[in-house]
Structure 1
Amino acid sequence: MRRSGHETGAPELEPEVFDSAIVPIVITAGGDHVLVYYNEAFRALFGPRPLGVPARAAFGEPLAAPFVSMLDEVYGDRTARQVTSPRSTDGSTPGVSGVRHFVYSCSPVVSRYGAGVLTVAIDTTAQVEAAEHAGQLSEERHQALQRYEALMSAVNQIVWLMQPSGEIEELVGGFEKFTGIPWRPMIDQDWLAAVHPHDRGPLVRSWREAAEGSPSMFVCTFRMRTASGVYRRVQSRAVPIVRGGAAVEWIGTTADVEDQWRNRLRERLMAKVATVISANDVPQAFAAVTEAVVPDLTDACAVFLLPPAALSGSDGTLTAVRIASTAREGLPALPPLSNQPRQFGPIVREVVDSRRPRLFTFPPGEAPDGIVPELSMGWLRDARATSITMVPIVIDSAVLAFAVAAGCADSPPPGPADLQMLGEVLHEVRDPLRQAMELQRTRHTALTLQRALLTPTPDVPGAELAANYQPASRTAEVGGDWYDSLLLPDGSVTLTIGDIAGHDLEAATSMSQLRSMLRVIAYDRSHGNTPAESLARLDTVAEGLAIAPLVTAVHVRLERRPDGDWHAAWSNAGHPPPLLLPASGTPRFLEGDGPDLPLCVAPWMPRTTWHHELRPGDTLLLYTDGLIEVPGTDLTEGMSALAAHAEQARVRGLPLAALCERLLAAAAERRDDAAVIGFRPIAQGRVWSARLP
């Protein structure tokens, strides 16, 4: 016997009466569901649990989350609930061998510990394992398994007998009570009128498939309209009675399986929603949301994102951008997505302000004016929409978006259970959506900072100079690449390309600091400042100030000769080597004896300056690894591809700016951001001027 808590008055229930019970019993108390009692049968099935702690701590395994949620519901409304489809443990509980199967019910109770919940479980391990084994044996055992499953799932069960002619007799009643209409002795169109419009065709096809040829078991799940007007899912099962090779009659059952179906649907939807976590950006995350609810919960769903200045004033209107939308098969194609804000009327403003869902029903294709913009209204008319559900999406106490779900064609309006589940799905995705939106804000900030610092290249007499930058196609991979060019007072030019470890706002900030410091070092000619000396000084400062964990860079100084040639001196700190495109000849990489160490690794190590003469028509290209890195391949393959693309562009005689743009376009789906800067001496009398696009 185990006890926890303290006496709160005369109890209505003494937990000790369950000490010898053969079924597992557990009792919780209070809104936190503090575990106050469980018996030996419970211990044998679920293993020992700590008493005196909330259920969320005592049942911490992921599979127990629905049980804890049910405790909240039962404690909140004091209404008993049950789970009739078998649940399973994960097989990792100490003291319990293997995976165990069970069903359970939760009921409100008052014990000496106060108000709480009494949970009764039934160990169905033997039955489930026997059923699984039976499925591998004979048809007779397979039918026994089906009877077992029907028995477990039946709440209100109708038993009927039908003749091949369609005459049907109700052996165990319940049809009229369930549907609100009298039992009809013949299966006809009037009988099918109680079936959901979307399920009539599949129901008839399933029956024909079972009845045609060699008769076989008939099993079909479909929706029927109840006496209250709400549709619930039922499952009909029937077996033929065969004489002389022909079915002379069918005996079957029809049972309400709505609760079991919704439990499975909830699990399936939550599995779909899990894909939101892997989304890289906000549109992709919201698209995963709409795809999760269509077609199980609604025929079409669109999500509208509210910009920061969405609310537009006293007239009650607001603006929003449709960021994602999905429609089931068979409906008209949805209008293409665009970034154009759409104006919504006071109805949507009310939904946003109240943070409460709202349902509108109307005749097919006759949605009231003012609910959605005219572009969406046109689609609703074409799809013969019959209902619109608007659900605000609240993240961090603010409505950042809202979903619009539509029932179309002959779909009846969603019931309370549908609206509740739609709300659950949108509630479940708040955290991944918050993460995606925060990631997008960070990306936008990093890009803004980066683009502000990547200034146009200067005009250089006697040379063509151009650069370009392309952010990564993936949201997170942005922030560390930079280029720079500086025209010095003596007419020489510096080119720099660099890459900082990391792809975030911190990397972009570090980039801005390093770029500014190298500019100052390069401009100060009092120290001579060969490229190697400039990088060494930058390395010392960056290491001392802990600006970045790791930086690669190529720094070049170009000086014009009297004959029109240019002398290039460069130093490489762990970066991909410069690419030289001679005016005539094969492209090659200027590798020297290999790069020196990256910056911020060992500032005391010596650095090397390399030299090369550039003649008019030669092209020197500096680039970051985003231009050559291909997942699953060696960098040398990417370098070869870059040289080949550059050679093709040179043959076509492209200006340097167009060449840089072409090289970036050749790397289609980049995992990393990429930058390129190029220098090309030109012959006397010919002047090119190229700036950042």
Structure 2
Amino acid sequence: MSDETERPSSSIGLEVFETAPVAVVVARGPEHRIAYTNALYRETFGDRPLGRPLRDAFPDLAQTGYWDIFDRVLATGRPEKVSTGPIELSYPGTTEKTTRYFNFSVSRAALGEGERGVLAVLVEVSEQVEAAQNIRVLAEQRRRALLRYGSLVNAGSQMVWVTGPMGGMSEPSPGWQRVTGQTWEQLRGDGWIDAVHPDDRAAIITAWGRAMAEVPATFTHVYRLRLAGGGYRHFAIYATPVRDGDNVIEWVGSSADIEQQWQADRREELLARAAAATADTRKLEEMLDALSHVIVPDVADACRVYLLPQGLDRPPGSPLSAERVVTRTREGLPDLPEHRAEHLDPGSPLVRAIEQGHPLHAVFPPGNPPPGLAAPGNAPWLPERANSVVLLPVVVDGTTAALLVSSTSGDRQPLGRPEIALLRDLIDQAHVPLRNALEFQRTRQVALALQRSLLTAPPDVPGLDIAVRYRPSVLGAEVGGDWYDSFVLRDGAVVLTIGDVAGHDLPAAVTMSQMRNMLRGFALDREEPTGEILRRLDMAVQTLYPEGIATCILARVERPASGLRLQYSVAGHPPPLLVDPDGTARFLTGADNPLIGLVPDPAPTSAHEPLPPGSTVLLYTDGLVERREEDLWTGLERLRHAAAAAAGQPLGVLCDELLAGLLPTGGPDDVAMLALRVTDGRVAG
């Protein structure tokens, strides 16, 4: 058959399909010979010859059943449709067969002169089919991955969960439900937050919200979760966004129990902090206070420390007094004042812990301690709303030096074995500093007791007003060197003496006491010049204490016929200050001599100074005037101006004003002061 006889007449008007956006083919007769194809059809399937049966033009489709559709439509006149029909051909531009997908409809058409045929319209949907297949594959892969991961997680300690793009739980999590006890209805959406510890909720809500907004590659966080059986444990969460192009379609995450690792890390961190806090501390109270800053709020809500000064040789069962030297609570809880002496009943839990030397531990409903734990009459050592307490004796070399009381309150998880072990570790790590502090405290107590026993009240002498002051150093080590003394000799002369032994420890205090007693003996033994008495003291010191060095002023208030006068000798000590009634103040420098113990063959000199009525003599130790950042004469001038300004004050007031005005806060040295005023009836001490 020629092309002319096979090509349809233009009278059927099929040219209207030429530019249609769908592929169109017209076939005539029962053999379905190709009568017309439009441009898109030829572009898609190639230029198949007109007049040729479709079965011959497309032999690859013989087994597809598509030609049966053409037969039925031609026979019955009822149109048929096929959705996503696959057509496997060698398409134009390809060398191998490929499968493409089409939606097509077939309907009967009148072709003129009583002849009938079929018209097929095809729309390619290959991209849509492939996209749908990819989604199905991805969904299946995701489902299988979650099943595999879920099976793995169920066999371990982790929980896997899935949230929507904005963070709400979107699928049940058997692991989460098993660990927390939440049902799916309780967990879904933002219900999971209810299982987070109340103190951790704000942080996770903020961090999770930031992750939703910024969409990092991974998100990690640590919080405490409430367990189904009660209590809380630390969990680490790891989450990552699932993306479809630029869009986040969900988040997949897991939660792992890290309680043991968290406890270990916390222990190391707190021990490091405790070591740093106590490194440069020597006083026992300051060291215990530094430890309380580490304990609260990381380990406990409240920490109180009771110091046991007489616990060294106390018989068991006897009354016990303790000084509460540390009270610390976390923010928002009431506290107790520090430095309060308390009597502890022999049967109280605190005393039991002290006597046994082992911790006492109790857990109870908030605010309802068991009978006997807070016995009536005891000090209120147990905070309100407490739910647990640990009484931990601080034992140093077999001696209970203090009692550490730690507690938690309200809804916080009660103290347990991990916290007791941690508290013990904190105390044990500080054992050497605590032992040194305890030994130093003992030494300081002995030195202070010795020193204060020697700082006696001045004598009561008619016509004279004598005042004494002593201010110990605020530093634990600074004790023992300063002394003063005053007494009346048999001839009626009044002796005034003040001094400072080199050193600030117990040996210095002992040496000071012996020098003070020797000086008393030398002054009482003979009536001789003050310089001669200091010479004998110097020789005795060089014989008995070859390494001893001291400063000293020895003065006698004498009553010759011409009036009162001051005989004095100064051995390396800051000079006496004389304040006249009119406020004129000057230092007495007429008898300056070397330090005691410095010159092998000493020969101290003496000097005399009249003491008119109303005049004031001030003896003092170097702690009143010395400053590390300035020379001595600057401090002396400061004292002279201050004494002149206060000359009209009663003697005791003058001393107090000088101490208050001249001593720096937290002065590093002891200060002793001895003042004498000649009264005339107008000025009282």
TM norm structure 1: 0.68
CA contact (8 A) 2:324 2:340 kept: yes
Instruction: Give the 3-state SS of the residue equivalent to 1:419 in structure 2.
Output: helix
C-alpha contact 1:311 1:318 (8 A) present in aligned 2: no
**2:362 pairs with one of 360, 363, 368:** 360
Q: Confirm whether residue 546 of structure 1 aligns to residue 538 of structure 2.
A: no
1:238 counterpart residue number:
239
CA distance in 2 between counterparts of 1:371 and 1:621 reads 57
Q: Which amino acid aligns with 2:650?
A: P
Could you tell me how far apart the structure 1 residues matched to 2:540 and 2:383 are? 66
Aligned to 1:591: 589
Separation of aligned partners in 1, 2:360 and 2:189: 37
Question: Equivalent of 2:645, from 628, 644, 648?
Answer: 648
SS at match of 2:466: strand
* Stretch of structure 1 that moved more, 158-167 or 212-221: 212-221
Shift of 1:211: 2.6
- 2:302 corresponds in structure 1 to 300
- Which of structures 1 and 2 has the bigger CA Rg? 2
Secondary structure of the residue that 1:569 maps to in structure 2? strand
1:377 deviates by 8.2
Distance apart, 1:640 and its partner CA: 2.4
Decide whether the 8 Å contact of 1:234 with 1:257 is kept in 2: yes
Task: Count the aligned residue pairs.
Answer: 527
Residue 521 of structure 2 corresponds to residue 523 of structure 1: no
Note if contact 2:292-2:303 (Cα within 8 Å) is conserved in structure 1.
Answer: yes
- Structure 1 residue aligned with 2:290: 288
SS in 1 for 2:264: helix
Q: Distance in 2 between matches of 1:511 and 1:407?
A: 50
SS of 2:342 mapped into structure 1: coil
Cα deviation for residue 497 of structure 1 reads 1.0
The Cα offsets for residues 519-557 of structure 1, whole Å up to 9 and x where unpaired, read as 22222336xx32222211111110011165210111122
In 2, distance between residues paired with 1:630 and 1:610? 29
Q: Is the 8 A contact 1:166 1:186 kept in 2?
A: no
CA distance in 2, matches of 1:297, 1:608: 66
- Distance change in 2, residues 1:498/1:547 (3 Å): farther
672 and 316 in structure 1: CA distance in 2 versus 1, 3 angstrom threshold: closer
SS at match of 2:340: coil
Structure 2 equivalent of residue 83 of structure 1: none
Does 1:637 pair with 2:634? Answer: yes
- Aligned-pair CA distance for 1:172: 10
Relative to 1, partners in 2 of residues 1:536 and 1:443: Cα closer, same or farther, differing over 3 Å? Answer: same
Task: Measure the CA separation in 1 of the matches of 2:561 and 2:188.
Answer: 101
Q: How far has the Cα of 1:392 moved from its partner? A: 2.5
User: Shift in Å at residue 388 of structure 1?
Assistant: 1.6
CA contact (8 A) 1:298 1:405 kept: yes
In the TM superposition, what are the counterparts of 1:33-72 in structure 2 within 5 Å?
A: none
Give the Cα separation in 1 of the matches to 2:381 and 2:291: 21
Residue aligning to 1:33: none
Instruction: Report deviation, 1:507.
Output: 0.9
Map Cα deviations across residues 482-517 of structure 1 (whole Å, 9 max, x no partner): 112232222222211100011111111111111111
Counterpart CA distance in 2 for 1:460 and 1:547 is 38
**Can you list the C-alpha shifts for 1:330-389, whole angstroms capped at 9, x where unaligned?**
22233454123243645444434443333322222222343136698868564x222222
Please state whether the residue corresponding to 1:322 is helix, strand or coil: strand
> What secondary structure is seen at the aligned counterpart in 2 of 1:340?
strand
Q: Does 1:675 align with 2:676?
A: no
Amino acid in the other structure paired with 2:418: A
Give 3-state SS (helix, strand or coil) of 1:303's partner.
strand
Q: CA RMSD in A?
A: 3.4
Structure-2 change in CA distance of 1:485 and 1:351 (3 Å): closer
1:191-230 CA-partner distances (Å, limit 9, x unpaired): 3444333223322232223334677864321122456655
Would the aligned equivalents of 2:583 and 2:645 in 1 still touch at CA under 8 Å?
no
SS at match of 1:576: coil
Aligned with 2:237: secondary structure? strand
1:393-451 deviations in Å (ceiling 9; x for gaps) = 22222333322211112112234322221221122223322222222222221121112
Q: What is the distance in 1 between the residues matched to 2:300 and 2:386?
A: 11
Counterpart residue number, 2:458: 457
Change (3 A) 1:375 1:219: farther
The equivalent of 1:401 in structure 2 is 402
**Residues 472 and 181 (structure 1 numbering): CA distance in 2 closer, same or farther, change over 3 Å?**
same
1:86-132 Cα offsets, whole Å, 9 max, x none, are: xxxxxxxxxxxxxxxxxxxxxxxxxxxxxxxxxxxxxxxxxxxxxxx
Q: Confirm or deny that 1:262 pairs with 2:263.
A: yes
Amino acid in structure 2 at the alignment position of 1:549: G
Partner of 2:618: 621
Amino acid at match of 2:286: Q
1:241-297 deviation per Cα after TM superposition (whole angstroms, max 9, x unaligned) = 567876443343433333443333223222332223433433222212222111111
Corresponding residue for residue 163 of structure 1: 164
Matches within 5 A, 1:81-100: none
In the alignment, what sits opposite 2:607?
610
Deviates more, 1:318-327 or 1:613-622: 318-327
Change in CA separation of 1:303 and 1:647 when aligned onto 2, cut-off 3 Å = same
Aligned to 1:582: 580
RCO comparison, higher one (Cα < 8 Å, 6+): 1
CA distance in 1, matches of 2:163, 2:175: 16
Partner of 2:531: 532
Q: SS where residue 288 of structure 1 aligns?
A: helix
d(CA) in 1 for partners of 2:499, 2:165: 81
Out of 274, 278, 293, the position equivalent to 1:276 is 278
Question: Equivalents in 2 of 1:196, 1:632: separation in Å?
Answer: 54
What amino acid does structure 2 have at the position aligned with 1:580? Answer: L
Residue matched to 2:567: 569
CA contact under 8 A between 1:367 and 1:381: conserved in structure 2?
no
Q: Alpha-carbon deviation of 1:600?
A: 0.9
Kindly indicate whether the alpha-carbon contact (under 8 Å) linking 2:287 and 2:434 is maintained by their aligned counterparts in 1.
yes
Moved more, 432-441 or 612-621: 432-441
Contact 2:200 2:224 in 1 (8 A): yes
The equivalent residue for 2:654 is 659
- C-alpha contact (below 8 Å) 1:291/1:326 kept by paired residues: yes
TM-score, with length taken from structure 2: 0.69
One-letter code of the match for 2:164? Q
Question: Are the equivalent residues in 1 in contact too, given 2:359–2:390 (CA < 8 A)?
Answer: yes
Q: For residues 644 and 217 of structure 2, what CA distance do their matches in structure 1 show? A: 70
Is this contact kept in 1: 2:342–2:379, CA < 8 A?
A: no
Partners of 2:478 and 2:504 within 8 A in 1: yes
CA shift in 2, pair 1:333/1:497, >3 Å: same
Percent identity between the two aligned chains: 40
- For 1:438, the equivalent position in structure 2 comes to 439
Whether the 8 Å CA contact 2:321–2:341 is kept in 1: the answer is: no
Q: Distance in 1 between matches of 2:442 and 2:312?
A: 17
**Preserved CA contact (<8 Å) 2:215 2:241:** no
Q: Aligned with 2:386: secondary structure?
A: coil
Matches within 5 A, 1:376-391: 382=384, 384-391=385-392
Q: Secondary structure at the match of 1:341?
A: strand
Q: 1:617 to 1:431 in 2, by over 3 A?
A: same
> Contact 1:386–1:408 (CA<8 Å) still a contact in 2?
yes
Alpha-carbon distance in structure 2 between the residues aligned to 1:457 and 1:585: 25
Counterpart contact for 1:230–1:415, Cα < 8 Å: no
Q: For the Cα contact (< 8 Å) 2:231–2:413, is it kept in 1?
A: no
CA distance in 2 between counterparts of 1:263 and 1:282 reads 28
Q: Distance in 2 between matches of 1:641 and 1:283?
A: 34
The aligned residue for residue 133 of structure 1 is: none
CA contact (8 A) 2:160 2:176 kept: no
Q: Is the 8 A contact 1:345 1:371 kept in 2?
A: no
Check 1:307–1:474 CA distance in 2 against 1; reply closer, same or farther (3 A cut). Answer: closer
Question: Gaps (5+ residues) in structure 2?
Answer: 1-155
Mapped partners of 2:245, 2:361: distance in 1: 56
- AA in 1 matched with 2:573: H
Would the aligned equivalents of 2:557 and 2:565 in 1 still touch at CA under 8 Å?
Answer: yes
